[in-house]
Structure 1
Amino acid sequence: MKKLVLIAIALMTVQAFAQQKKGESNKERAQMMRNLSPEDAATMQTKRLTLHLDLNEKQQAEVKEILLANAEARKAKMEEIKAKKEKGELQKPTKEERIKMANARLDQQIAMKTKMKEILNDEQYDKWEKAQARMANRGNEKKKEHAKKRMHEKKTE
């Protein structure tokens, strides 16, 4: 009986450490991606899309140009937020500011979609749209999980 209890405890301990490692590696990977230069990020994304959509040389160059512009804009925004945070000027946006940011993000997505439609053929574009929908869905699921976790933490307090 003692042996069974010891084995059960050992298995639970190993499982807890294994789960902890997974979370750490995701954070490390996310940090690494944040530290990439816009050129490196655009190159990596272009290569992923080339593998996924079977892009030709001309398409690769055009897609990389678009992705580079997006990566540079994203990096500039991150630097701006980081600077405000260090100065202590970062505040929660007002309702109007959130609406303005959401509209800007949606305008950027529409522009990206239009550009991609011009570059890709119909089959590639359909495949790209499905991948974008999957990514958006995955993001929404993670937001829901995070909200549930926060609600559960509030209940236990």
Structure 2
Amino acid sequence: MKKVIVAALLVVGMTTFAQEKEGRKAGSERLTSEQKVDLQVSKITKDLDLNEKQAKEVRALVTKQVAKREAKRAEMQELKTKKREEMKAQREAEQAAVSSEMKKILTPEQYAKWEKNREERKEGIKEKMAERKEKRKSKNLPESK
């Protein structure tokens, strides 16, 4: 009997914990720069009991910090985009080289069949990616890039 009660309590506890986690993820939206500054300044003001002059100076400092962080985030995002584009161009160049080599090796019929099989594999991969995306949407998870 004790084991059943302990097991039931564990199940209820884990379920509650899992729901809290999901709720936090679903409700977490990006704050604007001004909201971030306000939040940080109000927390510091409350924690350190700042006067108005100190609060204004802290606000100026926090505003600079937030601006720097956002600029850095934008810069990193731009670098990711550039790197992704470079990798895509490199991959396409490699695929073109393989294709031209295969064209030299295979007969026209074999090459056509090879290209057809290659396209079918690409479509299969695209379908799997679409399924994964749908699963993520149904679970309210962030999309991976």
Structure scoring higher RCO (CA < 8 A, sep ≥ 6) equals 1
Please, what TM-score do these two structures have when normalized by structure 2? 0.48
Report the structure number with the largest CA radius of gyration: 2
Please, what TM-score do these two structures have when normalized by structure 1? 0.45
